[in-house]
Amino acid sequence: MALRYPIDVQSKGTPFVLFTSHKAKYKQGARETTLTDNKSCAMYMPPAFQVSDIMRYESASPGLLGGMAENLLAGSNNYTSEDLANVASTGAAAGVAAIGGLVGAAVGGGGGAVIGGVGSQSAAAAVEAVRSKRMQNVVSPQEFMLFKAPGVRQFSFAFTMIPCSARESDEVIAIIKYFRTRMYPTLAANDLMYNFPEVFTIGFHDIDGIPKIAESALANASTNYNPNSMSYFKRGNRPVEITMTLSFQELMPLSAKNIKDGF
């Protein structure tokens, strides 16, 4: 029997979220996990549930020669003599850097490393600055964005629990311990290694139109006892109100196929 809040959350026909914890067993190059247990907790569907899809892009700068190569590969060869002269003039800084490297190699030792490294780079930058001022132009970095990878999605659930009975109060305490226990690792017998904590399958029930969530780790759990008062139940002296925020992170990045499958 799953832990539940409210107690009748699975029998009222209203939307709820089912969290099922289990040990992660990766397959297919860590793109999937296999469900191996069925310890569950059913919670009411909180309002304002947000799904954010994030892609990772990085800027690339092939520089002047890269831009020329791209045009030539595309069949465009309309460079003028002035263009070629500008390109040739930019080689001065590279030449200074190369000379600095040769001098550094000749000197050898720590001094050679300084001359060949920092000295040559500073000189090359100075030469390029003078060239740019004289020619009244600057090398275009030819920047563009390259796709890197899909970002790993994160989800947050915020619950407010105000028990209406002693039984429901017991259930709330057990629910908090359920999530906190399973998000922590266990120690191996020799206390030298951590065993991975459990992960969660998160399913939406009696509700449609919300994307599915892949296997997820509970990365953060925040519990706030009596956020609006200092009132406690007469039986057991337990808080009358507890808020709990759970932040999950999917174990695998998704692809377009996963989105077509409802994720």
Q: Indicate whether 249 and 165 sit together in one domain.
A: yes
Q: What is the pLDDT of residue 252?
A: 87
Strand 32-33, strand 26-27: pairing: antiparallel
Report d(CA 146, CA 154) in Å as an integer: 23
Measured CA to CA in angstroms, residue 17 lies from 55, 67, 206 at distances of: 27, 52, 9
**What is the average per-residue pLDDT within 131-151?**
81
Q: Indicate whether 175 and 80 sit together in one domain.
A: no
Residue with tokens 């799904």: 51
Domain boundary among 142, 159, 176: 142
Domain boundary among 142, 176, 192: 142
Confidence of residue 133 (pLDDT cuts 50, 70, 90): confident
Burial status of residue 193 (CB atoms within 10 A of its CB: 0-12, 13-18, 19 or more):
exposed
Q: Indicate whether 30 and 157 sit together in one domain.
A: yes
Q: Indicate whether 111 and 241 sit together in one domain.
A: no
Q: Indicate whether 43 and 126 sit together in one domain.
A: no
Q: Indicate whether 160 and 49 sit together in one domain.
A: yes
* Mean pLDDT computed over every residue of the chain: 80
Report d(CA 225, CA 80) in Å as an integer: 74
Report d(CA 215, CA 34) in Å as an integer: 9
Which residue range(s) make up the domain with 171? 3-55+151-260
15-24, 134-143, 219-228: range with lowest mean pLDDT: 134-143
Q: Indicate whether 72 and 201 sit together in one domain.
A: no
**Over the stretch 24-76, which tens digit does the pLDDT of each residue have?**
876 664 445 444 445 899 999 999 999 999 999 998 876 666 666 666 666 66
Q: What is the pLDDT of residue 24?
A: 81
Q: In this structure, what token pair is assigned to residue 29?
A: 């190059």
Measured CA to CA in angstroms, residue 86 lies from 79, 117, 126, 128, 139 at distances of: 11, 26, 17, 12, 9
Strand 242-250, strand 55-60: pairing: unpaired
Q: Indicate whether 48 and 72 sit together in one domain.
A: no
Counted domains in the chain: 2
195 near 186, Cβ under 8 Å?
yes
1-5, 83-87, 211-215, 254-258: range with lowest mean pLDDT: 83-87
Say if residue 123's pLDDT is above 70: no
Q: What is the pLDDT of residue 86?
A: 60
Q: Spell out the long-range contacts of 114-123 with Cβ–Cβ below 8 A and sequence spacing 24 or more.
A: 120/96, 121/97, 123/96, 123/97
